[in-house]
Amino acid sequence: MKRTLILPKVDDASYWLQSVEAFLRKVSPGKNWQLTLEPYRRERSNQQNRYLRGVCAKLLSDHTGYEVDEVYEYLLGTYFGWRQERCPKTPSNPRGLRDLPVRSTTRNEDGEREVLKDREFWDFVEWIQRFGAQHGVHIPDPDPSYRREEVQERAA
């Protein structure tokens, strides 16, 4: 069972110590545990993810006739770059190589989980809007509330 404790920004580290102590008291001492401390990054909201695939990729999919997942993969590769991966050879692919995006919005270049930060995510979305415009597809701006978290984090 995985447990997570998010420590807020505070001036006094004694609050952290009290929080960690209370957290550890709730953990079963009869098991081995691994503690990892890393900076907290808020994950994107479901609305943000739905906008990316359900609006951006869907509008481009409707325009091109490709599936949403195919369009989404193409956008990732065009924006972040491509890498080649071996695959079974076929008559249409005698070299046995396929192109895949270098990274996704949730995985880094090494395949490790690394979700894009808000600013990186919105840079990607704005690039998709420009890409769409260049190909005759208007992609509307997201609901302003989708960016509210980003603004609050910057103000903090």
pLDDT tens-digit map of 34-84: 888 877 777 778 889 899 999 999 999 999 999 999 999 999 999 999 999
The C-alpha atoms of residue 28 and residue 1 are separated, in whole angstroms, by 10
Q: Tell me which residue of 45, 51, 107, 104 sits closest to 73, measured CA to CA.
A: 104
List b or e across 70-100, with b for residues whose CB sees 16 or more CB atoms inside 10 angstroms. Answer: ebbbbbbbebbeeeeeeeeeeeeeeeeeeee
For the cut 70, the answer to whether the pLDDT of residue 133 exceeds it is: yes
Q: What one-character DSSP code corresponds to residue 94? A: T
For residue 4, the model assigns a pLDDT of: 79
The C-alpha atoms of residue 41 and residue 146 are separated, in whole angstroms, by 16
Contact call for residues 59 and 49 (beta carbons, < 8 A)? no
Q: Tell me which residue of 54, 58, 101 sits closest to 78, measured CA to CA.
A: 101
Q: How confident is the model at residue 148 (pLDDT cuts 50, 70, 90)?
A: low
Q: How confident is the model at residue 19 (pLDDT cuts 50, 70, 90)?
A: confident
For the cut 60, the answer to whether the pLDDT of residue 138 exceeds it is: yes
What are the residues whose beta carbons fall under 8 Å from the beta carbon of 145, sequence distance 6 or more?
47
Report the pLDDT averaged over residues 23-43.
81
For residue 152, the model assigns a pLDDT of: 43
For residue 32, the model assigns a pLDDT of: 86
The C-alpha atoms of residue 71 and residue 67 are separated, in whole angstroms, by 6
For residue 16, the model assigns a pLDDT of: 84
For the cut 80, the answer to whether the pLDDT of residue 150 exceeds it is: no
For residue 135, the model assigns a pLDDT of: 97
The C-alpha atoms of residue 122 and residue 55 are separated, in whole angstroms, by 14
The C-alpha atoms of residue 136 and residue 42 are separated, in whole angstroms, by 34
For residue 129, the model assigns a pLDDT of: 98
The C-alpha atoms of residue 123 and residue 8 are separated, in whole angstroms, by 27
90-119 confidence digits (pLDDT tens): 999 999 999 999 999 999 999 998 888 888
